[in-house]
Structure 1
Amino acid sequence: MKFAKTLSVCGILLATLSLAAPASASLLSGWTGQGNYGSGGADGVVSTSPFGSDQYGYVSTDNGIDGLGLENVGGDGNATSGSAVLSPLFFAQAGDSLEFFFNYVTSDGAGFSDYGWARLLDSNMNQVALLFTARTTPGGDTVPGFDMPVPEATLVPGSTPINAGAPDWFALGTSSGSCYDEGCGYTGWIQASYEIAAAGSYFLQIGVVNWNDDSFQSGMAFDGATIGGNVIAEPVSAPASIALLCLGLLSLVCSRRRR
Protein backbone atom coordinates (compact mmCIF):
# COMPACT_ATOMS: atom_id res chain seq x y z
CA MET A 1 0.00 0.00 0.00
CA LYS A 2 2.82 2.38 0.92
CA PHE A 3 4.61 1.44 -2.31
CA ALA A 4 1.54 2.32 -4.41
CA LYS A 5 1.07 5.60 -2.54
CA THR A 6 4.72 6.55 -3.10
CA LEU A 7 4.40 5.82 -6.81
CA SER A 8 1.27 7.99 -6.96
CA VAL A 9 2.89 10.95 -5.19
CA CYS A 10 5.99 10.79 -7.39
CA GLY A 11 3.86 10.58 -10.51
CA ILE A 12 1.86 13.65 -9.52
CA LEU A 13 5.04 15.64 -8.74
CA LEU A 14 6.72 14.76 -12.02
CA ALA A 15 3.57 15.44 -14.05
CA THR A 16 3.15 18.85 -12.41
CA LEU A 17 6.77 19.76 -13.12
CA SER A 18 6.50 18.66 -16.74
CA LEU A 19 3.54 21.01 -17.20
CA ALA A 20 5.46 23.86 -15.59
CA ALA A 21 8.68 23.35 -17.56
CA PRO A 22 9.27 25.60 -20.59
CA ALA A 23 8.20 23.96 -23.86
CA SER A 24 10.32 26.17 -26.11
CA ALA A 25 12.38 29.33 -26.39
CA SER A 26 9.30 31.30 -27.37
CA LEU A 27 7.72 31.00 -23.92
CA LEU A 28 10.32 33.47 -22.57
CA SER A 29 11.40 31.33 -19.62
CA GLY A 30 13.82 33.53 -17.69
CA TRP A 31 13.61 36.37 -20.22
CA THR A 32 13.04 39.92 -18.95
CA GLY A 33 11.70 42.94 -20.79
CA GLN A 34 10.60 46.55 -20.94
CA GLY A 35 7.41 47.88 -22.51
CA ASN A 36 5.01 45.58 -24.32
CA TYR A 37 6.25 42.01 -24.75
CA GLY A 38 4.96 38.49 -24.26
CA SER A 39 4.08 35.33 -26.16
CA GLY A 40 1.28 34.31 -28.50
CA GLY A 41 0.20 31.76 -31.06
CA ALA A 42 -0.39 31.91 -34.80
CA ASP A 43 -2.49 34.98 -35.54
CA GLY A 44 -3.15 37.06 -38.66
CA VAL A 45 -0.03 37.50 -40.78
CA VAL A 46 2.19 35.79 -38.16
CA SER A 47 2.05 32.04 -38.59
CA THR A 48 3.70 29.30 -36.53
CA SER A 49 7.46 29.68 -36.95
CA PRO A 50 9.65 27.12 -38.76
CA PHE A 51 11.06 26.21 -35.34
CA GLY A 52 7.67 24.63 -34.65
CA SER A 53 6.78 26.09 -31.24
CA ASP A 54 3.13 26.34 -30.23
CA GLN A 55 3.87 29.94 -29.23
CA TYR A 56 6.40 32.62 -30.19
CA GLY A 57 7.73 35.63 -28.33
CA TYR A 58 6.96 39.18 -29.43
CA VAL A 59 7.76 42.83 -28.77
CA SER A 60 5.52 45.70 -29.87
CA THR A 61 5.62 49.49 -29.95
CA ASP A 62 1.96 49.49 -28.89
CA ASN A 63 1.94 50.80 -25.29
CA GLY A 64 5.74 50.89 -25.36
CA ILE A 65 8.00 53.14 -23.29
CA ASP A 66 10.45 55.90 -24.20
CA GLY A 67 14.23 55.62 -24.27
CA LEU A 68 14.73 52.21 -25.89
CA GLY A 69 15.96 53.25 -29.33
CA LEU A 70 19.52 52.42 -30.39
CA GLU A 71 22.01 55.25 -30.02
CA ASN A 72 23.01 56.91 -33.32
CA VAL A 73 20.85 54.50 -35.34
CA GLY A 74 17.97 55.60 -37.55
CA GLY A 75 19.18 58.69 -39.40
CA ASP A 76 17.32 62.00 -39.30
CA GLY A 77 14.59 62.00 -36.68
CA ASN A 78 14.12 60.44 -33.29
CA ALA A 79 13.11 57.13 -31.76
CA THR A 80 10.08 57.45 -29.51
CA SER A 81 8.25 54.64 -27.68
CA GLY A 82 9.28 51.00 -27.95
CA SER A 83 9.79 47.67 -26.24
CA ALA A 84 12.68 45.23 -25.78
CA VAL A 85 13.34 41.80 -24.29
CA LEU A 86 16.55 40.30 -22.90
CA SER A 87 17.36 36.60 -22.81
CA PRO A 88 18.79 34.87 -19.74
CA LEU A 89 22.57 35.09 -19.56
CA PHE A 90 24.04 32.17 -21.50
CA PHE A 91 27.55 30.79 -21.99
CA ALA A 92 28.92 30.15 -25.48
CA GLN A 93 32.13 28.67 -26.79
CA ALA A 94 34.02 30.25 -29.68
CA GLY A 95 32.50 28.92 -32.88
CA ASP A 96 29.05 28.22 -31.38
CA SER A 97 26.15 29.28 -33.60
CA LEU A 98 23.52 31.63 -32.18
CA GLU A 99 20.29 31.09 -34.12
CA PHE A 100 16.70 32.31 -34.00
CA PHE A 101 13.75 33.20 -36.24
CA PHE A 102 12.08 36.60 -36.51
CA ASN A 103 9.13 38.15 -38.32
CA TYR A 104 8.99 41.97 -38.50
CA VAL A 105 5.49 43.47 -38.82
CA THR A 106 4.69 47.18 -39.31
CA SER A 107 1.68 49.40 -39.94
CA ASP A 108 3.90 52.51 -40.31
CA GLY A 109 5.77 53.76 -43.36
CA ALA A 110 7.16 56.71 -45.35
CA GLY A 111 9.18 59.14 -43.18
CA PHE A 112 7.77 57.57 -40.02
CA SER A 113 9.07 54.03 -40.61
CA ASP A 114 9.68 52.29 -37.28
CA TYR A 115 12.48 49.77 -36.83
CA GLY A 116 13.29 46.55 -34.99
CA TRP A 117 16.62 44.99 -34.03
CA ALA A 118 18.48 42.13 -32.40
CA ARG A 119 21.80 42.54 -30.58
CA LEU A 120 24.34 40.30 -28.91
CA LEU A 121 25.47 41.84 -25.61
CA ASP A 122 28.21 40.77 -23.21
CA SER A 123 27.62 40.15 -19.50
CA ASN A 124 28.17 43.87 -18.80
CA MET A 125 25.49 44.84 -21.36
CA ASN A 126 28.02 46.13 -23.88
CA GLN A 127 27.16 45.53 -27.54
CA VAL A 128 29.17 42.75 -29.15
CA ALA A 129 27.25 42.63 -32.43
CA LEU A 130 24.25 44.38 -33.97
CA LEU A 131 22.85 41.21 -35.48
CA PHE A 132 20.30 42.94 -37.71
CA THR A 133 17.90 45.86 -37.99
CA ALA A 134 14.52 45.64 -39.71
CA ARG A 135 12.93 48.69 -41.34
CA THR A 136 11.14 49.32 -44.59
CA THR A 137 12.72 51.11 -47.56
CA PRO A 138 11.17 52.83 -50.59
CA GLY A 139 12.31 49.80 -52.60
CA GLY A 140 10.52 47.40 -50.29
CA ASP A 141 13.35 45.53 -48.54
CA THR A 142 13.29 45.50 -44.75
CA VAL A 143 16.76 44.38 -43.64
CA PRO A 144 18.73 46.51 -43.04
CA GLY A 145 16.22 49.20 -44.13
CA PHE A 146 16.91 52.84 -44.94
CA ASP A 147 19.57 54.64 -42.87
CA MET A 148 20.30 51.42 -40.99
CA PRO A 149 23.55 49.40 -40.46
CA VAL A 150 24.30 46.27 -42.47
CA PRO A 151 23.42 43.15 -40.43
CA GLU A 152 26.24 41.15 -38.85
CA ALA A 153 24.15 37.98 -38.72
CA THR A 154 23.57 35.73 -41.71
CA LEU A 155 19.91 35.78 -42.78
CA VAL A 156 17.93 33.09 -44.59
CA PRO A 157 16.48 34.16 -46.94
CA GLY A 158 19.10 36.80 -47.61
CA SER A 159 16.62 39.07 -49.42
CA THR A 160 13.86 40.37 -47.15
CA PRO A 161 11.14 42.16 -49.15
CA ILE A 162 8.06 43.37 -47.30
CA ASN A 163 4.79 41.55 -47.92
CA ALA A 164 2.92 44.78 -48.49
CA GLY A 165 -0.46 45.65 -47.04
CA ALA A 166 -2.20 46.55 -43.78
CA PRO A 167 -1.02 43.73 -41.50
CA ASP A 168 -3.47 41.94 -39.24
CA TRP A 169 -1.76 40.94 -35.95
CA PHE A 170 -2.96 41.19 -32.35
CA ALA A 171 0.35 42.62 -31.07
CA LEU A 172 -0.21 45.84 -33.06
CA GLY A 173 -3.21 46.72 -30.88
CA THR A 174 -5.62 49.18 -32.50
CA SER A 175 -3.22 49.55 -35.46
CA SER A 176 -3.86 45.94 -36.52
CA GLY A 177 -5.32 45.97 -40.04
CA SER A 178 -4.30 49.58 -40.72
CA CYS A 179 -1.49 51.22 -42.68
CA TYR A 180 0.18 54.61 -42.92
CA ASP A 181 1.64 55.20 -46.38
CA GLU A 182 4.20 53.08 -48.24
CA GLY A 183 6.10 50.53 -46.18
CA CYS A 184 3.41 48.62 -44.26
CA GLY A 185 3.45 44.84 -44.15
CA TYR A 186 5.45 41.94 -42.76
CA THR A 187 8.60 39.98 -43.63
CA GLY A 188 7.43 36.46 -42.87
CA TRP A 189 9.74 34.25 -40.83
CA ILE A 190 13.48 34.82 -41.38
CA GLN A 191 16.27 32.80 -39.80
CA ALA A 192 19.23 34.67 -38.30
CA SER A 193 22.49 32.96 -37.38
CA TYR A 194 25.73 34.34 -35.96
CA GLU A 195 29.00 32.59 -35.07
CA ILE A 196 30.29 33.48 -31.62
CA ALA A 197 33.88 34.78 -31.92
CA ALA A 198 35.09 34.31 -28.34
CA ALA A 199 34.04 32.12 -25.42
CA GLY A 200 32.08 34.01 -22.79
CA SER A 201 28.71 34.85 -21.29
CA TYR A 202 26.18 36.75 -23.38
CA PHE A 203 22.65 38.13 -23.64
CA LEU A 204 20.42 38.24 -26.73
CA GLN A 205 18.34 41.43 -26.93
CA ILE A 206 15.40 41.91 -29.31
CA GLY A 207 13.53 45.21 -29.62
CA VAL A 208 11.34 47.48 -31.71
CA VAL A 209 10.77 51.25 -31.62
CA ASN A 210 8.49 53.93 -33.09
CA TRP A 211 10.11 56.67 -35.16
CA ASN A 212 9.23 60.41 -35.08
CA ASP A 213 5.78 59.74 -33.58
CA ASP A 214 3.87 57.20 -31.49
CA SER A 215 1.17 56.46 -34.08
CA PHE A 216 0.77 53.31 -36.23
CA GLN A 217 2.47 50.48 -34.42
CA SER A 218 5.13 47.91 -35.32
CA GLY A 219 6.28 44.69 -33.72
CA MET A 220 8.52 41.70 -34.07
CA ALA A 221 7.76 38.05 -33.43
CA PHE A 222 10.67 35.72 -32.62
CA ASP A 223 11.15 32.05 -31.88
CA GLY A 224 13.71 29.26 -31.59
CA ALA A 225 16.55 31.15 -29.89
CA THR A 226 19.33 28.57 -29.51
CA ILE A 227 23.06 28.58 -28.83
CA GLY A 228 25.04 25.61 -30.09
CA GLY A 229 21.72 23.88 -30.74
CA ASN A 230 20.44 24.30 -27.16
CA VAL A 231 17.43 26.46 -26.32
CA ILE A 232 18.31 29.69 -24.50
CA ALA A 233 16.20 29.53 -21.34
CA GLU A 234 16.55 29.84 -17.60
CA PRO A 235 18.09 26.64 -16.19
CA VAL A 236 15.50 24.42 -14.52
CA SER A 237 17.01 22.01 -11.98
CA ALA A 238 13.90 21.16 -9.94
CA PRO A 239 12.67 18.22 -12.10
CA ALA A 240 16.01 16.43 -11.75
CA SER A 241 16.00 16.98 -7.99
CA ILE A 242 12.45 15.68 -7.65
CA ALA A 243 13.29 12.65 -9.80
CA LEU A 244 16.21 11.78 -7.53
CA LEU A 245 13.99 12.24 -4.46
CA CYS A 246 11.39 9.90 -5.92
CA LEU A 247 14.02 7.27 -6.72
CA GLY A 248 15.27 7.51 -3.14
CA LEU A 249 11.77 7.10 -1.72
CA LEU A 250 11.04 4.12 -3.95
CA SER A 251 14.33 2.47 -2.95
CA LEU A 252 13.52 2.99 0.72
CA VAL A 253 10.03 1.51 0.36
CA CYS A 254 11.36 -1.47 -1.61
CA SER A 255 14.04 -2.08 1.04
CA ARG A 256 11.46 -2.10 3.82
CA ARG A 257 9.16 -4.43 1.84
CA ARG A 258 12.04 -6.95 1.47
CA ARG A 259 12.62 -6.89 5.23
Structure 2
Amino acid sequence: MFRSICKLSGSVALLGLVSLFPMHASASLFDAGIPAGWTCVGSCGTSGADGDVTLAPGGGSQYGWVSTSQGVTGVGLGLGSETSGSVLTSTAFGAQAGDELEFLFNYVTSDGAGFSDYAWARLLDDTMNEVAFLFGARTTPAGDTVPGDGLPLPDATLDPTGAPIIPGGPAWSPLGGSSGSCYAAGCGYTDWVNATYTVATSGNYILEFGVVNWIDFAFQSGLAIDGFLVAGDDPFQPPVGVPVPATLGLMGIGLLALGVGLRRRRLV
Protein backbone atom coordinates (compact mmCIF):
# COMPACT_ATOMS: atom_id res chain seq x y z
CA MET A 1 0.00 0.00 0.00
CA PHE A 2 2.72 2.45 1.02
CA ARG A 3 4.74 1.53 -2.09
CA SER A 4 1.74 2.49 -4.21
CA ILE A 5 1.41 5.80 -2.38
CA CYS A 6 5.11 6.51 -2.89
CA LYS A 7 4.91 5.62 -6.58
CA LEU A 8 1.89 7.87 -7.08
CA SER A 9 3.46 10.69 -5.06
CA GLY A 10 6.70 10.40 -7.00
CA SER A 11 4.83 10.48 -10.30
CA VAL A 12 2.94 13.61 -9.33
CA ALA A 13 6.13 15.29 -8.16
CA LEU A 14 7.92 14.33 -11.36
CA LEU A 15 5.02 15.67 -13.42
CA GLY A 16 5.25 18.94 -11.55
CA LEU A 17 8.99 19.18 -12.11
CA VAL A 18 8.73 18.37 -15.81
CA SER A 19 6.02 21.00 -16.19
CA LEU A 20 8.40 23.63 -14.88
CA PHE A 21 10.59 23.35 -17.95
CA PRO A 22 8.48 23.95 -21.06
CA MET A 23 9.68 22.80 -24.46
CA HIS A 24 10.97 25.38 -26.92
CA ALA A 25 7.95 27.22 -28.26
CA SER A 26 7.03 27.02 -31.92
CA ALA A 27 6.36 30.15 -33.96
CA SER A 28 2.65 30.20 -33.10
CA LEU A 29 2.40 33.58 -31.41
CA PHE A 30 -0.82 34.65 -33.15
CA ASP A 31 -2.68 31.33 -33.18
CA ALA A 32 -5.03 32.54 -30.42
CA GLY A 33 -5.30 36.12 -31.72
CA ILE A 34 -3.34 39.24 -30.83
CA PRO A 35 -1.36 38.31 -27.67
CA ALA A 36 -2.50 39.68 -24.33
CA GLY A 37 -0.74 42.90 -23.46
CA TRP A 38 0.02 43.90 -27.04
CA THR A 39 -1.52 47.27 -27.97
CA CYS A 40 -3.12 48.34 -31.23
CA VAL A 41 -3.85 51.84 -32.47
CA GLY A 42 -6.08 51.63 -35.53
CA SER A 43 -6.77 48.32 -37.26
CA CYS A 44 -4.90 45.15 -36.25
CA GLY A 45 -5.81 41.49 -36.26
CA THR A 46 -4.85 37.91 -37.05
CA SER A 47 -5.64 35.74 -40.07
CA GLY A 48 -5.00 32.33 -41.48
CA ALA A 49 -4.01 31.90 -45.12
CA ASP A 50 -6.02 34.55 -46.96
CA GLY A 51 -5.90 35.26 -50.70
CA ASP A 52 -2.36 36.11 -51.78
CA VAL A 53 -1.02 36.07 -48.21
CA THR A 54 -0.18 32.52 -47.23
CA LEU A 55 0.84 31.31 -43.79
CA ALA A 56 4.40 32.26 -42.87
CA PRO A 57 7.02 29.55 -43.48
CA GLY A 58 7.56 27.77 -40.19
CA GLY A 59 4.90 29.92 -38.55
CA GLY A 60 1.67 28.98 -36.86
CA SER A 61 -1.91 28.62 -38.06
CA GLN A 62 -2.37 32.41 -38.01
CA TYR A 63 -0.22 35.51 -38.50
CA GLY A 64 -0.64 39.02 -37.16
CA TRP A 65 -1.32 42.09 -39.29
CA VAL A 66 -1.81 45.85 -39.34
CA SER A 67 -3.76 47.65 -42.07
CA THR A 68 -4.62 51.16 -43.20
CA SER A 69 -8.20 49.96 -43.78
CA GLN A 70 -10.16 51.43 -40.84
CA GLY A 71 -6.95 53.05 -39.63
CA VAL A 72 -6.73 56.27 -37.65
CA THR A 73 -5.03 59.61 -38.16
CA GLY A 74 -1.98 60.71 -36.23
CA VAL A 75 0.21 57.63 -36.68
CA GLY A 76 3.36 57.17 -38.73
CA LEU A 77 6.98 58.27 -38.69
CA GLY A 78 6.22 61.95 -39.27
CA LEU A 79 7.65 62.19 -42.79
CA GLY A 80 5.08 64.73 -43.96
CA SER A 81 2.09 63.37 -45.89
CA GLU A 82 0.80 60.50 -43.76
CA THR A 83 -2.99 60.38 -43.52
CA SER A 84 -4.30 57.29 -41.70
CA GLY A 85 -2.83 54.05 -40.50
CA SER A 86 -2.30 51.60 -37.68
CA VAL A 87 0.40 50.60 -35.18
CA LEU A 88 0.82 47.34 -33.23
CA THR A 89 3.17 47.32 -30.22
CA SER A 90 4.39 44.21 -28.42
CA THR A 91 4.91 43.55 -24.75
CA ALA A 92 8.48 43.77 -23.47
CA PHE A 93 10.85 40.84 -23.88
CA GLY A 94 14.41 40.20 -22.76
CA ALA A 95 17.44 39.73 -25.00
CA GLN A 96 21.16 39.38 -24.44
CA ALA A 97 23.94 41.12 -26.34
CA GLY A 98 24.69 39.05 -29.44
CA ASP A 99 21.24 37.42 -29.60
CA GLU A 100 19.67 37.24 -33.03
CA LEU A 101 16.17 38.68 -33.36
CA GLU A 102 14.32 37.09 -36.27
CA PHE A 103 10.86 37.55 -37.73
CA LEU A 104 8.97 37.39 -41.02
CA PHE A 105 6.98 40.12 -42.75
CA ASN A 106 4.90 40.51 -45.89
CA TYR A 107 4.13 44.03 -47.16
CA VAL A 108 0.88 44.23 -49.11
CA THR A 109 -0.29 47.32 -51.03
CA SER A 110 -3.09 48.17 -53.45
CA ASP A 111 -1.71 51.68 -54.02
CA GLY A 112 0.84 52.87 -56.55
CA ALA A 113 2.40 55.72 -58.55
CA GLY A 114 3.08 58.68 -56.24
CA PHE A 115 0.77 57.47 -53.47
CA SER A 116 3.64 55.83 -51.63
CA ASP A 117 2.11 54.17 -48.57
CA TYR A 118 4.67 52.61 -46.25
CA ALA A 119 5.10 50.11 -43.42
CA TRP A 120 7.84 49.78 -40.84
CA ALA A 121 9.21 47.84 -37.90
CA ARG A 122 11.24 49.32 -35.05
CA LEU A 123 12.99 47.88 -32.03
CA LEU A 124 12.41 50.06 -28.95
CA ASP A 125 13.83 49.95 -25.45
CA ASP A 126 11.52 49.61 -22.46
CA THR A 127 11.16 53.41 -22.28
CA MET A 128 9.91 53.47 -25.92
CA ASN A 129 13.07 55.01 -27.36
CA GLU A 130 14.18 53.68 -30.75
CA VAL A 131 17.08 51.24 -30.63
CA ALA A 132 16.96 50.09 -34.26
CA PHE A 133 14.96 50.87 -37.38
CA LEU A 134 14.52 47.29 -38.51
CA PHE A 135 13.02 48.03 -41.92
CA GLY A 136 10.73 50.33 -43.85
CA ALA A 137 8.82 49.01 -46.89
CA ARG A 138 7.25 51.48 -49.29
CA THR A 139 4.94 51.40 -52.29
CA THR A 140 6.98 52.37 -55.34
CA PRO A 141 6.21 52.23 -59.09
CA ALA A 142 9.63 50.74 -59.86
CA GLY A 143 12.32 48.92 -57.90
CA ASP A 144 12.35 47.30 -54.48
CA THR A 145 10.13 48.24 -51.54
CA VAL A 146 13.10 48.35 -49.12
CA PRO A 147 14.66 50.76 -48.44
CA GLY A 148 11.60 52.87 -49.15
CA ASP A 149 12.12 56.30 -50.65
CA GLY A 150 12.67 58.77 -47.81
CA LEU A 151 12.83 56.05 -45.15
CA PRO A 152 15.93 55.15 -43.12
CA LEU A 153 18.11 52.27 -44.26
CA PRO A 154 17.17 49.00 -42.54
CA ASP A 155 19.23 47.89 -39.55
CA ALA A 156 18.00 44.33 -40.08
CA THR A 157 19.35 42.00 -42.75
CA LEU A 158 16.59 40.97 -45.16
CA ASP A 159 16.18 37.81 -47.21
CA PRO A 160 15.42 38.44 -50.01
CA THR A 161 17.36 41.70 -49.98
CA GLY A 162 15.26 44.68 -51.00
CA ALA A 163 11.93 42.85 -50.53
CA PRO A 164 10.91 43.05 -54.21
CA ILE A 165 7.21 43.41 -54.98
CA ILE A 166 5.14 40.74 -56.74
CA PRO A 167 2.98 42.98 -58.96
CA GLY A 168 -0.80 42.94 -59.30
CA GLY A 169 -3.85 43.80 -57.24
CA PRO A 170 -3.38 41.77 -54.03
CA ALA A 171 -6.32 39.74 -52.76
CA TRP A 172 -6.25 40.01 -48.96
CA SER A 173 -9.19 40.58 -46.61
CA PRO A 174 -7.42 43.01 -44.21
CA LEU A 175 -7.31 45.51 -47.11
CA GLY A 176 -11.09 45.81 -46.83
CA GLY A 177 -12.68 47.15 -50.01
CA SER A 178 -9.25 47.47 -51.65
CA SER A 179 -8.68 43.70 -51.67
CA GLY A 180 -7.97 42.68 -55.26
CA SER A 181 -7.62 46.30 -56.42
CA CYS A 182 -4.61 48.05 -57.94
CA TYR A 183 -4.41 51.82 -58.31
CA ALA A 184 -1.27 51.93 -60.47
CA ALA A 185 2.22 50.48 -60.90
CA GLY A 186 3.63 49.56 -57.50
CA CYS A 187 0.71 47.54 -56.17
CA GLY A 188 1.30 43.97 -55.06
CA TYR A 189 2.90 42.10 -52.19
CA THR A 190 6.42 41.12 -51.20
CA ASP A 191 5.57 37.62 -50.00
CA TRP A 192 7.28 36.57 -46.77
CA VAL A 193 10.62 38.24 -46.13
CA ASN A 194 12.96 37.12 -43.34
CA ALA A 195 14.41 39.90 -41.17
CA THR A 196 17.38 39.28 -38.85
CA TYR A 197 18.93 41.73 -36.39
CA THR A 198 21.73 41.18 -33.87
CA VAL A 199 20.98 42.75 -30.49
CA ALA A 200 23.88 44.96 -29.39
CA THR A 201 23.15 45.39 -25.67
CA SER A 202 21.45 43.16 -23.11
CA GLY A 203 18.13 44.53 -21.92
CA ASN A 204 14.36 44.59 -22.30
CA TYR A 205 12.92 45.49 -25.68
CA ILE A 206 9.63 46.19 -27.44
CA LEU A 207 8.68 45.69 -31.09
CA GLU A 208 6.60 48.21 -33.03
CA PHE A 209 4.95 47.55 -36.39
CA GLY A 210 3.03 50.13 -38.40
CA VAL A 211 1.55 51.02 -41.78
CA VAL A 212 0.19 54.31 -43.16
CA ASN A 213 -1.54 55.79 -46.18
CA TRP A 214 0.31 58.56 -48.00
CA ILE A 215 -1.38 61.72 -49.35
CA ASP A 216 -4.91 60.26 -49.44
CA PHE A 217 -7.13 57.73 -47.67
CA ALA A 218 -7.81 55.47 -50.67
CA PHE A 219 -6.29 52.16 -51.83
CA GLN A 220 -5.22 50.44 -48.65
CA SER A 221 -1.95 48.80 -47.60
CA GLY A 222 -1.02 46.39 -44.82
CA LEU A 223 1.73 44.40 -43.17
CA ALA A 224 1.59 40.74 -42.11
CA ILE A 225 4.04 39.52 -39.43
CA ASP A 226 4.95 36.20 -37.79
CA GLY A 227 7.77 33.85 -36.78
CA PHE A 228 9.35 35.81 -33.92
CA LEU A 229 12.49 34.30 -32.40
CA VAL A 230 15.26 35.60 -30.16
CA ALA A 231 18.30 33.32 -29.91
CA GLY A 232 16.14 30.57 -31.42
CA ASP A 233 13.30 30.80 -28.87
CA ASP A 234 9.93 32.53 -28.79
CA PRO A 235 10.72 35.73 -26.85
CA PHE A 236 7.14 36.10 -25.67
CA GLN A 237 7.00 32.74 -23.88
CA PRO A 238 8.67 31.86 -20.53
CA PRO A 239 12.29 30.90 -21.28
CA VAL A 240 13.39 27.31 -20.92
CA GLY A 241 14.32 26.58 -17.30
CA VAL A 242 12.17 29.34 -15.78
CA PRO A 243 9.18 28.06 -13.77
CA VAL A 244 5.77 28.63 -15.25
CA PRO A 245 3.66 30.14 -12.40
CA ALA A 246 0.70 27.81 -12.91
CA THR A 247 2.92 24.78 -12.36
CA LEU A 248 4.35 25.88 -9.03
CA GLY A 249 1.25 24.70 -7.18
CA LEU A 250 1.39 21.34 -8.93
CA MET A 251 5.03 20.91 -7.97
CA GLY A 252 4.27 21.85 -4.36
CA ILE A 253 1.45 19.31 -4.11
CA GLY A 254 3.64 16.63 -5.67
CA LEU A 255 6.58 17.25 -3.36
CA LEU A 256 4.30 17.41 -0.30
CA ALA A 257 2.67 14.12 -1.21
CA LEU A 258 6.07 12.54 -1.82
CA GLY A 259 7.33 13.76 1.57
CA VAL A 260 4.27 12.42 3.40
CA GLY A 261 4.62 9.06 1.68
CA LEU A 262 8.30 8.72 2.60
CA ARG A 263 7.65 9.77 6.22
CA ARG A 264 4.88 7.20 6.67
CA ARG A 265 7.11 4.55 5.17
CA ARG A 266 9.89 5.31 7.71
CA LEU A 267 7.40 5.09 10.60
CA VAL A 268 6.29 1.58 9.64
Which TM-score band (shorter chain)?
0.7 to 0.9
Q: Secondary structure at the match of 1:247?
A: helix
**Displacement of 1:114 after TM fit?**
0.7
What letter is aligned with 2:203?
A: G
Residue in structure 2 matched with residue 15 of structure 1 by the alignment = none
| 1:15-74 CA distance string (max 9 Å, x none) | xxx9xx9972234423222111121111111111112311111111111111111033xx
Residue 70 of structure 1 is aligned with which of 69, 72, 77? 77
Residue in structure 2 matched with residue 96 of structure 1 by the alignment = 99
Residue 130 of structure 2 is aligned with which of 116, 127, 142? 127
Is the Cα contact below 8 Å between 1:88 and 1:232 reproduced in 2?
no
Residue 163 of structure 1 is aligned with which of 158, 163, 166? 166
What letter is aligned with 2:157?
A: T
Q: TM-score, normalized by length of structure 2?
A: 0.81
Is the Cα contact below 8 Å between 2:27 and 2:227 reproduced in 1?
no
Residue 56 of structure 1 is aligned with which of 52, 58, 63? 63
Residue in structure 2 matched with residue 24 of structure 1 by the alignment = 28
Q: Distance in 2 between matches of 1:132 and 1:23?
A: 21
What letter is aligned with 1:185?
A: G
**Displacement of 1:95 after TM fit?**
0.7
Residue in structure 2 matched with residue 195 of structure 1 by the alignment = 198
Residue in structure 2 matched with residue 143 of structure 1 by the alignment = 146
Q: Distance in 2 between matches of 1:102 and 1:142?
A: 12
Provide closer, same or farther for how the CA distance between residues 23 and 92 of structure 1 changes in structure 2, counting only shifts above 3 A: closer
Q: Distance in 1 between matches of 2:141 and 2:81?
A: 19
Q: Distance in 1 between matches of 2:119 and 2:218?
A: 16
1:244 matches 2:251: yes
Q: 1:104-119 residue pairs with structure 2 within 5 A?
A: 104-119=107-122
Q: Distance in 2 between matches of 1:84 and 1:243?
A: 39
Provide closer, same or farther for how the CA distance between residues 43 and 245 of structure 1 changes in structure 2, counting only shifts above 3 A: farther
Residue in structure 1 matched with residue 52 of structure 2 by the alignment = 45
Is the Cα contact below 8 Å between 2:26 and 2:234 reproduced in 1?
no
What letter is aligned with 1:135?
A: R
Q: Distance in 1 between matches of 2:95 and 2:191?
A: 28
Q: Distance in 1 between matches of 2:115 and 2:208?
A: 23
1:226 matches 2:233: no
What letter is aligned with 1:62?
A: S
Q: Which structure has the bigger radius of gyration?
A: 2
Q: Secondary structure at the match of 1:102?
A: strand
Is the Cα contact below 8 Å between 1:51 and 1:223 reproduced in 2?
no
Provide closer, same or farther for how the CA distance between residues 168 and 249 of structure 1 changes in structure 2, counting only shifts above 3 A: farther
Q: Distance in 1 between matches of 2:113 and 2:264?
A: 77
**Displacement of 1:138 after TM fit?**
2.6
* Unmatched 5+ stretches in structure 2: 16-21
Q: Secondary structure at the match of 1:110?
A: coil
Over the matched positions of the two proteins, sequence identity in percent amounts to: 53
Is the Cα contact below 8 Å between 2:147 and 2:162 reproduced in 1?
no
Q: Secondary structure at the match of 2:30?
A: helix
Q: Distance in 1 between matches of 2:83 and 2:250?
A: 49
**Displacement of 1:249 after TM fit?**
7.2
Residue in structure 1 matched with residue 19 of structure 2 by the alignment = none
| 1:231-258 CA distance string (max 9 Å, x none) | 1326593442353255357648967997
Q: Distance in 2 between matches of 1:174 and 1:36?
A: 14
* Unmatched 5+ stretches in structure 1: 12-17
Q: Distance in 1 between matches of 2:135 and 2:147?
A: 7
